[in-house]
Structure formats: structure tokens, C-alpha cells
Structure 1
């Protein structure tokens, strides 16, 4: 008789647990949108070293007022790596800003 009670209790726990696991897939949140659209705003946020103001350049990491002046005096730039080639800023400063700048041609 005891085995019958245990079997009944086991069957009841399986029955109770089954709806919870069946509901889990229905409550999942849809996956987030792809990150491709997020790439465009990042590209739009690039600062053009050929036209940026001193205040805009000064906001870049490791670029203060003196380096901003040097960047402005060294214009025009054919590419952003001209900051290194023309010895306008040191390599560590360039490494800190290279993903935030662009050198557009007129």
C-alpha cells in the first residue's frame, strides 16, 4: 500500500511540474535586433581632424589644448595616420583616438 502512495505522489508531482516546463518556451523574450544598425551611428560620430574645432579635438582622450593646437596647425591630413607620420602626436595618444577620428578630403 505504501508503494502505491509513493507512486501516486510521484505521478502527481510529474503532473504538476509538466505545465510549468511546457509554459517556459512560450514566455521567452524574442532575440534582440541585430547590431548592424548600431554600426552606422558610430561611423557618424567620427571626428574629422581636418575640420574639427579646438574644443572638439580637446574632448578626445589624451588630446589637450596644446595637442589640439598642434593638430590644427598640421592640417591638412591625407589620412588619420598622418598624425604619426608628421609627428603631431605620440603613438600612445594616436592609439587612444584612432577609432574616433577620420581625415576627410575636401
Structure 2
């Protein structure tokens, strides 16, 4: 089996067959990045974690369904660093998004 995979013809064929898949994946990730920037641009550069929808939160890197739900369930926030101090997000995930979010003061 390994000898089959090592032949130059098999390698070339594998690369040709995987190229369309890789191109599709790159287009998909660019579309996701564009939608994330669009959602933050409409709210003025940074996304407010006190009012963001689950879909807006999931557009950030490292934020999936579970983290989006935890962020929403932990509202309201008076500071964005409460995402880590309250244990909502791990520091590595918070560091990926901290420059793209804000926490507006909750209205009384």
C-alpha cells in the first residue's frame, strides 16, 4: 500500500484531486471572515458583547455554539475582561477577540 502512495503518478493525481477541495475551503473561510468583518463594521468597528447575537459571536475565531451561549448567559458585562475573570472564556480564546469587542454599560 505504501509503495502505491509513493509513486509520482499517484502523488500528482492526489494533488490534482485535492486542489478543488482546498480552493473551496479557502473561499469558504474568506466568506466567513468577510461576514465577521461586516457584522462588526455595522456596529461601529467593535461588537458589543452585551447585545451581540449568537451568530455575530460565532463569527469570531474560537467562538462556537457553546462559548456563544456562555457569553449570552453571563450578561450583562461591565468590562470585556469579565469574559475571562468569570470563567466564560479561556484566556487564549479571549486574546483572539479582545481587540474586536466592547462591553457597553448596561442601561438601568
Give TM-score scaled by structure 2 length. 0.57
Q: How does 1:9-88 map to 2 (within 5 A)?
A: 44-88=44-88
How far apart are 1:45 and its partner, in Å?
A: 1.7
Moved >6 Å (runs of 4+):
none
User: Unaligned regions of 5+ residues in structure 1, if any?
Assistant: 1-40
Partner of 2:102: 102
Task: Render the CA deviation track for 1:12-54: whole Å, top value 9, x for unaligned.
Answer: xxxxxxxxxxxxxxxxxxxxxxxxxxxxx7x922000000000
Kindly tell me the number of residue pairs found equivalent between the two proteins. 65
CA distance in 1 between counterparts of 2:55 and 2:92 reads 21
Q: Which has the higher helix share?
A: 2
What stretches of structure 2 of length at least 5 have no aligned partner? 1-40
| Bigger CA radius of gyration | 1
Which SS does the other structure have where 1:51 is aligned? coil
